[in-house]
Structure 1
């Protein structure tokens, strides 16, 4: 009887367990799972059926998985649906080492709907719930995921802020004799431009398996911009250990703004290639080589994403640069007719710029674009090319922080001398910029200027300038500006200088109107101007040559780009026909014109001489010495006049 009682005592619990397992439905746990998942994700999660296949490798499957939208969004379609999702859990690893090992995850026909509205609200930002770990507690280890199998995955992305609406298809493939791989395609629009993207990645056997680099092959076209990415990533989750080669090309770098988050001015067609990686929280593009229009482009870039705005740090150099390629950085139309790779729209823009009566940039400077990112740029050009270009080299150090631009300095090399400027542009609440700058032109070789004009010459050019102004464009800033400009020249050839400054046709016409010999040598040229509310007024204008003295005066309106100048020529040796010759210069900066001789001009010239405009004041002596050196003809002339 004892053994019967023992058998009955053991059999009844086993029978109860058997009956329980026979009647148990895993669906009974769905409310608990849904509640925990909904609390963790901060939005409703529902499951139609739940299945568990017990064993050392336990398979957990959910059918009809649905993740809803946050409040304020319609419930159909939901954020995500998965007709069937399953994962394998290694129970032995969990028991022996408390390590979560998931050999395989399978998502069957998942569908995701990503929505971003114009007001900034979206359905893809999650407020993850759950209790934070206790103070001093070690964070739990991340699960080790083996293979991820994706069957016919789909996503629809429509984000108003990005002007995007595209669809993605993704799946994993298991080619014979090769590792599993993931493939994805995107089609639609991004940044209001057509987008196509094709990605082929490696097997997601373990996203953190640092012993198995993850191959990447991406080809993307966003409008006319083309991107190709090839290489491997050691740790794709952290984007660490990247050995990737990035190739980008397109007609205009400004089109990269939606892809990089950094606003770039309009440029000429470009193509660059380099190494892409990620370190210290920044995406780095190094060993860059490429072309920008007619210029070569080399160096490194890094972009650090930020909560407020990204930060771009760049150190770039060109062996040879065509300054026309950089025109967009100062508000002009970049490039010149015939720049390689130009689009029809760019050719039309250049034609409009050439037909415009204005010379100074009139395009408004976009403060929101300036504030879209903080930029720290160092740029150097070893040589500058271009017909008639008097500059030899270029160096720029620029910082843009919260929309404030600091150029410190911009420096052009001219022979053995240099032209240096320091400028600060500060955004104002009304959308304009307040500009302040200083300019230094020191001991510039006139021979270098003459070479640019295709002529010979010698001598030295110097000067200083300053400006303060407010406006929405370069034209408006100069048109409202206050400041001063002083230029000093010693030596050189007058005909060559006029041709270089004003062009062959006008320069020769001006020489003829002044009655000065074509090849006369310059002994001294002093030009001193004051700038008041955009009007550049002559204080002193004196040209001393071997045989003539030319004085002048008048104004140049920087806002209207209008000239109202007069020049008067006096011969040093009186002869018949050597009476003073006054002429006028009118028109615009882009199209100056010599005015017919007027009686008023002679009166203005005579009055100016009476006021002392012919001879410079001694106050200019420090500027003369600074710009062209001591013990020169200009210094002697100034002391004699004083």
Structure 2
């Protein structure tokens, strides 16, 4: 009898007995196994094990068999899906997608999900993915048909690679909520932080009657972009991908057009050529270059050209607030690497100034971050005006004169353009900006070096340094927009600077002047403009004059010592230096009003004293400066020189009421007594008390000033602006109130 090789003779009690190499002999009980015939037995089919597998360890045999079973199972699943096209998975897919996205997902028509043969094919008709309840559009994504091929192996490892995408009638609605805290493309937990928009990589596409809408209520940006019909056949795109759009930005319309040319080269390892032209908000933007793939930005090699009336309007598209600028024109290389847009090799101009450097824009944690390193060789002071709040249009039309406004019949020079505090809270920035030279008429400024940091509404310019007439100004300025009212802190230091160089453009020649000045400004104010901040500020301003010389002409004109001035004029000693022992010009600022605290300059022959102050609120000046002689002088005005007017239009009045009063008194004495008495009111006994220079050089307040004998000074005021007029009684018998300074106190 012939028995198949995969059969074994089985003991009905204990299993297989021996290989059936010779079944006939075995049945007869031949051989040495004489007991064989006595045991009950039967023939049975067992699992066939190849000889090569039979020689392997048992564990390996089990593993190989398990893999074989798994492969057979997968093949069975593949076969079932391929035959049925996976249509029976429509319901489970809707429920699974709805659960994962936490958005309602519906498919109204045909549905297919299967392997064809190795890539995953997904096909759906009338598909809808809902938007969050707060969104204006009910549906985030809709399409008449979606036909895609996904790379199976890459999908396993988390890569979203679409080998093919056929979209018909597809619309995507991208929206931000009113507070910019949620967006429609962040799925899952509605309270989770918003995520950046990430597009899948699409290697081939066929798109018809499709587009995208974008809404950002805070930026007031609304865009509607249509994608031109794109055809595909096998592995090639037959046409250029074109797109066009329109929308509004802050109620201003804009348009854009563009295309992806030569897309067929993508699959062969080539690159797509992108062109984009956008016009809006007075800006024109052109981008041209290549992309690795139709939706791949990583490794993009682009060139950008931008021009317009105001660069800040271009940054509005990013939700970024920068100071206004005059008309600009810039070019740069544009790349995208590691989720960072990089503008390198920037070259351009704004107004009459040049600009170069680099800029990087990223979005770590969904928050926009700017990192810039910019350089200007020559900065026109007019172009710097918008940085501190001056109106661009006025500067364009009027030059530096545009910085002055007439309000209520009074000139104003402090800028009042509001700071965009809300915008500062929405992005972060790190900026390094250097200016080699500033073109200014009044002050020689150069070597500006600004390091700026902005983090969640706190802006710090730390440090801001520059050279002023050879002296270094080092500043730390912080603007905190986090509180309800913006808080600004100023700390500005002036290192010793030569007066001759500093005042050279005001008629003071450097020859004969060796005096220097140093100073510090420390103030804190509140408000969303420079004017509001200063008008509410509190702090101190102090400038110290160490020992040095100053031209005689300036000193004598200031003190109006007629006799000494005429004498030196005839002796041709007009330029003989007058020695300054020490001096301080300081103001205490309270609620926007600065009071002299003190003004005290001790010279070789005089002590110069000042009273009064100024107001950041009204920008008015009301001060009086007088010089008391240390030596006897026969002809001396001994009356203060009034400094008044406004910041934008100061005036000096040497003919004070006191001087006119003395002249009247002298004339009266001359009439009733003798003509010689005419000069009596003009005699200066020369009893001015010299200053102790220690407190002066320390910039101390008026209360801390002393004479050389250590006695408190009684001629430097009390650090207030009120003028004493306590003596007269009013008509109703009450004492008159002290005179208000500038209508404030």
Match of 1:471 among 497, 506, 526: 526
Q: Which residue of 1 aligns with 2:140?
A: 79
Distance 1:203 1:153, change over 3 A: farther
Q: Which residue of 1 aligns with 2:540?
A: 483
Secondary structure at the residue paired with 2:300? strand
Q: Provide the C-alpha distance between the structure 2 equivalents of 1:612 and 1:148, rounded to a whole number of angstroms.
A: 97
Contact 2:596–2:610 under 8 Å retained in 1? no
Contact 1:147–1:204 under 8 Å retained in 2? no
Contact 2:292–2:300 under 8 Å retained in 1? yes
How much has 1:580 moved relative to structure 2?
A: 2.6
Q: Which digits, 9 at most, give the CA deviation of each residue in 1:611-641, with x for residues without a partner?
A: 99864432246559xxxxxxxxxxxxx9899
How much has 1:228 moved relative to structure 2?
A: 1.5
Report 1:189-588 matches (<5 A): 189-202=248-261, 211-234=269-292, 239-307=297-365, 309-334=367-392, 337-338=395-396, 352=405, 357-427=411-481, 429-444=483-498, 446-447=500-501, 449-451=503-505, 457=511, 458-472=513-527, 473-479=529-535, 480-488=537-545, 490-491=548-549, 493=551, 520=575, 521=577, 523-524=579-580, 526-533=583-590, 534-542=593-601, 544=603, 550-569=608-627, 577-588=635-646
Q: Which digits, 9 at most, give the CA deviation of each residue in 1:282-324, with x for residues without a partner?
A: 3222211111211111111222213363222222111101233
Contact 2:167–2:207 under 8 Å retained in 1? yes
Q: Which digits, 9 at most, give the CA deviation of each residue in 1:470-526, with x for residues without a partner?
A: 31143444443122402327445587x89xxxxxxxxx9x86978668965564372
Q: Which residue of 1 aligns with 2:185?
A: 125
Distance 1:455 1:211, change over 3 A: farther
Scaled by the length of structure 2, the TM-score of the pair is 0.65
Contact 2:607–2:690 under 8 Å retained in 1? no
Q: Provide the C-alpha distance between the structure 2 equivalents of 1:612 and 1:396, rounded to a whole number of angstroms.
A: 50
Distance 1:535 1:348, change over 3 A: closer
Q: Which digits, 9 at most, give the CA deviation of each residue in 1:398-439, with x for residues without a partner?
A: 222232332222222134322222333445634130525142
Structure 2 gaps, min length 5? 1-79, 190-198, 663-680, 700-706, 712-745
How much has 1:265 moved relative to structure 2?
A: 1.8
Q: Which residue of 2 aligns with 1:48?
A: 109
Secondary structure at the residue paired with 2:359? strand
Secondary structure at the residue paired with 2:228? strand
Secondary structure at the residue paired with 1:409? strand
Higher relative contact order (Cα pairs below 8 Å, separated by 6+ residues): 1
Q: Which residue of 2 aligns with 1:630?
A: none
Contact 2:319–2:423 under 8 Å retained in 1? no
Contact 1:551–1:614 under 8 Å retained in 2? no
Q: Which digits, 9 at most, give the CA deviation of each residue in 1:28-84, with x for residues without a partner?
A: 55334433443444322213124699976997643323333344668x863332223
Q: Provide the C-alpha distance between the structure 1 equivalents of 2:500 and 2:709, rounded to a whole number of angstroms.
A: 25
- Tell me whether 610-619 or 38-47 shows the greater mean CA deviation: 610-619
Q: Which digits, 9 at most, give the CA deviation of each residue in 1:435-454, with x for residues without a partner?
A: 25142232346235415769
Match of 2:228 among 171, 188, 191: 171
1:150 aligns with 2:203: no
Larger radius of gyration: 2
Q: Provide the C-alpha distance between the structure 1 equivalents of 2:360 and 2:686, rounded to a whole number of angstroms.
A: 59
Report 1:78-97 matches (<5 A): 78-87=139-148
Secondary structure at the residue paired with 1:431? coil
Secondary structure at the residue paired with 1:241? coil
- Tell me whether 453-462 or 362-371 shows the greater mean CA deviation: 453-462
Q: Provide the C-alpha distance between the structure 2 equivalents of 1:40 and 1:230, rounded to a whole number of angstroms.
A: 39
Scaled by the length of structure 1, the TM-score of the pair is 0.74
Q: Which residue of 1 aligns with 2:694?
A: 619
Secondary structure at the residue paired with 1:79? strand
Query: What is the number of residues matched between the two proteins?
Result: 571
Distance 1:170 1:529, change over 3 A: same
Contact 1:361–1:474 under 8 Å retained in 2? yes
Contact 1:414–1:445 under 8 Å retained in 2? no
1:183 aligns with 2:242: yes
Q: Which digits, 9 at most, give the CA deviation of each residue in 1:128-182, with x for residues without a partner?
A: 59xxxxxxxxxxxx99853111112123333323312332110355699997432
How much has 1:461 moved relative to structure 2?
A: 2.5
Secondary structure at the residue paired with 2:422? helix
Distance 1:54 1:577, change over 3 A: closer
Q: Which residue of 2 aligns with 1:11?
A: none
Q: Provide the C-alpha distance between the structure 2 equivalents of 1:102 and 1:397, rounded to a whole number of angstroms.
A: 45
Distance 1:557 1:210, change over 3 A: farther
Q: Which residue of 2 aligns with 1:6?
A: none
Secondary structure at the residue paired with 1:38? helix
Contact 2:173–2:213 under 8 Å retained in 1? yes
Q: Provide the C-alpha distance between the structure 2 equivalents of 1:590 and 1:120, rounded to a whole number of angstroms.
A: 42
Match of 2:166 among 83, 106, 117: 106
Contact 2:632–2:685 under 8 Å retained in 1? no
Q: Provide the C-alpha distance between the structure 2 equivalents of 1:474 and 1:73, rounded to a whole number of angstroms.
A: 38
Contact 2:404–2:648 under 8 Å retained in 1? no
How much has 1:277 moved relative to structure 2?
A: 2.0
Contact 1:420–1:440 under 8 Å retained in 2? yes
